[in-house]
Amino acid sequence: MAKNNNSIFFTEGSKVTQDSMQTQFAEHLEYDLAKDKNTVTSHDVLMALALSIRDRLVRNWIRTQHQYFQSNVKMVHYMSLEFLMGSLLEHSLSNLGLSEEINKLMKEFGYDIESIIKEEPDMGLGNGGLGRLAACFMESMATLEIPAHGYGIRYEFGIFEQDIENGYQIEKPDHWLRYGSPWEIVRPEKTYTIQFNGTVTAEWDATGRERFKWVNTDNVLAVAHDIPAPGYQNKTVNTLRLWQAKATDEFNLIDFNQGNYLAAVEGKNISETISKVLYPNDSIPSGKILRLRQQYFFVSATLQDIIKHFKLLNKDFKAFPDKNTVQLNDTHPAIAIPELMRALMDIEGLEWNDAWDITTKTFAYTNHTIVPEALEEWPESLMNTLLPRHMQIIEEINRRFIEEIKSKYSKDNGVIAGMSIIRENGGGDKSVRMAHLAIVGSHSINGVAELHTEILEKYLFKDFYKLYPEKFNNKTNGISIRRFLKEANSNLSELISASIGDEWIKDLGKIKKIEKFINDKGFKESWREIKKLNKIRLIDYLGSQINLQVNPDSMFDSQVKRFHEYKRQMLNVLHVITLYNRIRQNPKSDYVPRTVIFAGKAAPSYVMAKLTIKLINSVADIINNDKETGGKLKVLFIKNYGVSLAEKIIPASDLSEQISTAGFEASGTGNMKFALNGALTIGTLDGANIEIKNEVGDENIFIFGNTADQVLDIRTKGYNPGIFYENDAELKAVVDMIASNFFSANEKGIFDPIVYDLLHKDYYQVMADYRSYIETQKKVEAEYMDAENWTKKSIFNVARMEKFSSDRAIREYSKDIWKVQPMKITLK
Ligand code: F58
């Protein structure tokens, strides 16, 4: 095909610019979906609209990529096994500035935009905070005009769909691609071969150098699927490239010719399972071989893609780190370090030292957890089988690293063993510590909140910090202001824009200006009115899912996040039961009516987390059906929490529960989303809560419980949770109720493991923080009674959120780690 026929490219006055949205929508309905007014379904409407919007995006998308290529600009590659994108229609409309126009148009056609938006399944390709952070970063990078790619896996099944049966969590497959996705563009021409297994051979090349070859491998193909990532009302559209696994041969021909049809198809199925499903474990890695396959699969495809692109424009590999920077989102893609070494040495023919210099200059690593058992390790035996050449390279990296420790840091064998990339587990059993590999192979290691980075430097990676202090830095997390305020809370964002203009959407610092309305009666009334509207909107959205009366004038007290013992949903339940007892004992007293909202998924194999969900549902059952508590207390477990639900629950909440055991939540980002929507936080001095407190001021947040230092101190001195039970009558009554089957009359004994744990183990020190939490909740109520005062605090929270915009985070990454500049897209 003649490639230089420029006239067909970048045509001004093209179909997309000339045709009205109306025509495009009608054409997609007719030509892409083959539907008329009799056969059209609501899903068709969504598809036709999404395709029309995509047309607009594609225009800028091509231009963005073209300009990046032409100017050979330095690119950020955000490598992440998870991207929790949520829904894309409303977000694309908003970023394109088309929300109003489309709203009107759909109305004219007789459709309601809200229900079309609701049709779109969430792109749930992540577990929680880590995956959503990647999505917020994609949005901010595009808004700030940073040349960037996201790279991940196109899972056929994202995070499981959660159902609740008899109070128990049931997992169902998330078939988000059932009807296809209107956003992705398949790029069969961008297909790479990924090798597994096989052996390594060595031979001497013409220059007398030993060259290694990885041969007799089992191969799988990786096919690119691209999703547009548009910036806010600019021309930048970056790419999220997700890899799908495909078998190399449709059938194994030998088996096929022998008539063994099923065996022939089997091989194909095995290779295609690589991109089938997202591992639903958060915080503790699964350690499964398929997980390692997934990691290597997407890492290898990504690096091949980056190198191919680099070679089109550059000659000398020394320039590679000047043109590429790769951020590793946790250790999940850390196998990229030996993979880049392999590519540079075995394929491109570079020497070790040059390859190593390029590699360490290219990679940067973000850590998201301090729980030691959450740090990934792969058995050496597995690595030897699946990735034999990589294991050799890792051994050599480690040999050189140990030499470095000895010459620069310590000759103590204990210290060396503690820092070694390869752990000796005794009996010849060894494993690869991916975090150590990531630290040694990167030029930057960052934590995600100040306290978290401090813990990394002081405890978890203490020796590494002493050896390489210059590599360590903090990058406090942030959230997308567009998604979590402008789109999720359009009423509030309109009030803000009407009062101070709309510059805050691109520059959150400007939102401070709303502080001047702190004594404006009308403004404050509108503020409260909007909160109430959002509550009603949430109740409507949930519809028949909740079969109880929820009072929109009650305080909405929400804890929505993954279920984990360290997040302490348990502490919240103990408070709920305490409130219930108080109401029963003193029904005539004044209470602030509360609706306590829980939502979140538990890892399918996490027994305690699942039992906590059951307990919440059992407690809800009793309380919600008790006439005495009536309008005063309701408990709501909202099933199948995800990005779209977050966008409804958060704007409707008054109180945000951020109650993890201090020292355990690396940062948290839900805490930021709530504060940005005017909820007040009740929380421990953990993760980013500390920084939120510093920004909003002590009087605008409710802090309780032990500090991270105290938690550690208690643990080292020996902790006895039973003492708290013995010495606190109210707590004792609550635990006794659970133990005596008050909430489990029909399933006696099911909560025994919880009771046992609280009284005898309580690793996360729920009992130790109970009293302080209960007293602080009391303060919350007193403050909430004074609506004027509460509104002021709510406004201060929103006004002081500048720091928590992911724009700020991305600016810091760009300047300190990536050394990249924004590039304005100017192509017409
Ligand atoms: C989360 N980690 C942190 N991991 O818990 C949270 O404090 C932080 O705000 C967020 O990252 C963003 O930095 C997290 O979500 C996972 O889900 C992993 C999934 C895969 C296995 C290991 C945990």
pLDDT tens figures, 212-233: 999 999 999 999 999 999 999 9
Tokens of 307: 């190198």
Q: What's the confidence (pLDDT) of residue 428?
A: 84
Q: Report yes or no on whether pTM surpasses 0.85.
A: yes
Q: 269 C-alpha vs ligand 1 centroid, how far in Å?
A: 30
Q: Is the pLDDT of residue 557 over 50?
A: yes
For the CA of 666, the nearest atom of ligand 1 = 7
Q: What's the confidence (pLDDT) of residue 52?
A: 94
Q: 328 C-alpha vs ligand 1 centroid, how far in Å?
A: 13
Residue nearest to atom 17 of ligand 1 (CA): 282
- Strand, coil or helix: 165: strand
Please give the mean pLDDT across all residues of the chain: 95
For the CA of 448, the nearest atom of ligand 1 = 13
On whether the CB atoms of residues 383 and 391 are closer than 8 A, the answer is yes
Tokens of 551: 């009072």
Q: What's the confidence (pLDDT) of residue 281?
A: 85
Residue nearest to atom 22 of ligand 1 (CA): 283
Q: What's the confidence (pLDDT) of residue 536?
A: 97
Q: What's the confidence (pLDDT) of residue 286?
A: 80
Mean pLDDT to the nearest integer, 305-332? 98
Residue nearest to atom 9 of ligand 1 (CA): 668
The DSSP call for residue 660 is P
Q: Is the pLDDT of residue 6 over 60?
A: no
Residue nearest to atom 18 of ligand 1 (CA): 282
Q: 82 C-alpha vs ligand 1 centroid, how far in Å?
A: 10
For the chain, give the percent of residues with pLDDT over 90: 87
Q: Is the pLDDT of residue 14 over 60?
A: no
Q: With b meaning 16 or more CB within 10 Å and e meaning fewer, what string describes 623-660?
A: bbeeeebeebbbbbbbbbbbbbbbbbbbbbbbbbbbbb
Q: Tens digit of pLDDT for each residue in 792-807?
A: 999 999 999 999 999 9
- Listed range (253-262, 324-333, 478-487, 523-532) with the worst mean pLDDT: 253-262
For the chain, give the percent of residues with pLDDT over 70: 96
Residue nearest to atom 14 of ligand 1 (CA): 130
Q: 333 C-alpha vs ligand 1 centroid, how far in Å?
A: 14
Mean pLDDT to the nearest integer, 762-768? 98
Q: 69 C-alpha vs ligand 1 centroid, how far in Å?
A: 33
Any idea which residues carry the catalytic annotation? 368, 561-562, 567, 669, 673
Q: In terms of pLDDT, which residue wins out, 797 or 207? A: 797
Ligand 1 pocket: which of 84, 136, 277, 282 to mutate (most atoms within 8 A of CB): 282
Q: Which residues line ligand 1 at a C-beta cut-off of 6 Å?
A: 127-130, 133, 281-283, 285, 368-369, 374, 448, 477, 665-669, 687
Q: Is the pLDDT of residue 262 over 80?
A: no
Task: From 654, 690, 649, 659, select the one nearest 675 (Cα to Cα).
Answer: 654
Tokens of 465: 């910090």
Mean pLDDT to the nearest integer, 71-79? 98
Residue nearest to atom 23 of ligand 1 (CA): 283
CA 163, 167, 168 angle in degrees (round to 5)?
60
Ligand 1 pocket: which of 368, 455, 605, 692 to mutate (most atoms within 8 A of CB): 368
Separation of alpha carbons 512 and 515, rounded Å: 6
Q: Is the pLDDT of residue 12 over 70?
A: no
Q: What's the confidence (pLDDT) of residue 271?
A: 84
Q: Tens digit of pLDDT for each residue in 376-393?
A: 999 999 999 999 999 999
Q: Is the pLDDT of residue 253 over 70?
A: no
> CA 43, 49, 53, 54 torsion: positive or negative?
positive
Q: Is the pLDDT of residue 16 over 70?
A: no
Can you name the residues that pair with 192 across neighbouring β-strands? 222
Q: Which helix (H) or strand (E) holds 261?
A: helix 261-272
Q: Is the pLDDT of residue 733 over 50?
A: yes
Can you name the residues that pair with 230 across neighbouring β-strands? 237
Mean pLDDT to the nearest integer, 796-821? 98
For the CA of 132, the nearest atom of ligand 1 = 12
For the CA of 127, the nearest atom of ligand 1 = 17
On whether the CB atoms of residues 640 and 657 are closer than 8 A, the answer is no
Q: 92 C-alpha vs ligand 1 centroid, how far in Å?
A: 26
* Chain mean position to CA 108: 37
Mean pLDDT to the nearest integer, 635-664? 98
For the CA of 332, the nearest atom of ligand 1 = 20
Q: How confident is the model at residue 449 (pLDDT cuts 50, 70, 90)?
A: very high
What lies within 8 Å, CB to CB, of 10 at 6+ separation is 62, 63, 66, 827, 828
Q: 609 C-alpha vs ligand 1 centroid, how far in Å?
A: 16
Separation of alpha carbons 483 and 475, rounded Å: 21
Mean pLDDT to the nearest integer, 621-629? 94
Q: What's the confidence (pLDDT) of residue 372?
A: 83
Q: How confident is the model at residue 739 (pLDDT cuts 50, 70, 90)?
A: very high
Q: What's the confidence (pLDDT) of residue 4?
A: 47
Q: Is the pLDDT of residue 19 over 70?
A: no
- Strand, coil or helix: 157: strand
Q: In terms of pLDDT, which residue wins out, 109 or 598? A: 598
Mean pLDDT to the nearest integer, 37-48? 91
For the CA of 688, the nearest atom of ligand 1 = 9
- Strand, coil or helix: 554: coil
Radius of gyration over every alpha carbon of the chain, rounded to an integer in angstroms: 28
Mean pLDDT to the nearest integer, 316-330? 98
On whether the CB atoms of residues 648 and 537 are closer than 8 A, the answer is yes
Separation of alpha carbons 227 and 219, rounded Å: 26
Ligand 1 pocket: which of 283, 450, 605, 804 to mutate (most atoms within 8 A of CB): 283
Q: 282 C-alpha vs ligand 1 centroid, how far in Å?
A: 7
For the CA of 669, the nearest atom of ligand 1 = 9
On whether the CB atoms of residues 550 and 539 are closer than 8 A, the answer is yes
Q: Tens digit of pLDDT for each residue in 141-157?
A: 999 999 999 999 999 99
Q: How confident is the model at residue 3 (pLDDT cuts 50, 70, 90)?
A: very low
Q: 133 C-alpha vs ligand 1 centroid, how far in Å?
A: 9
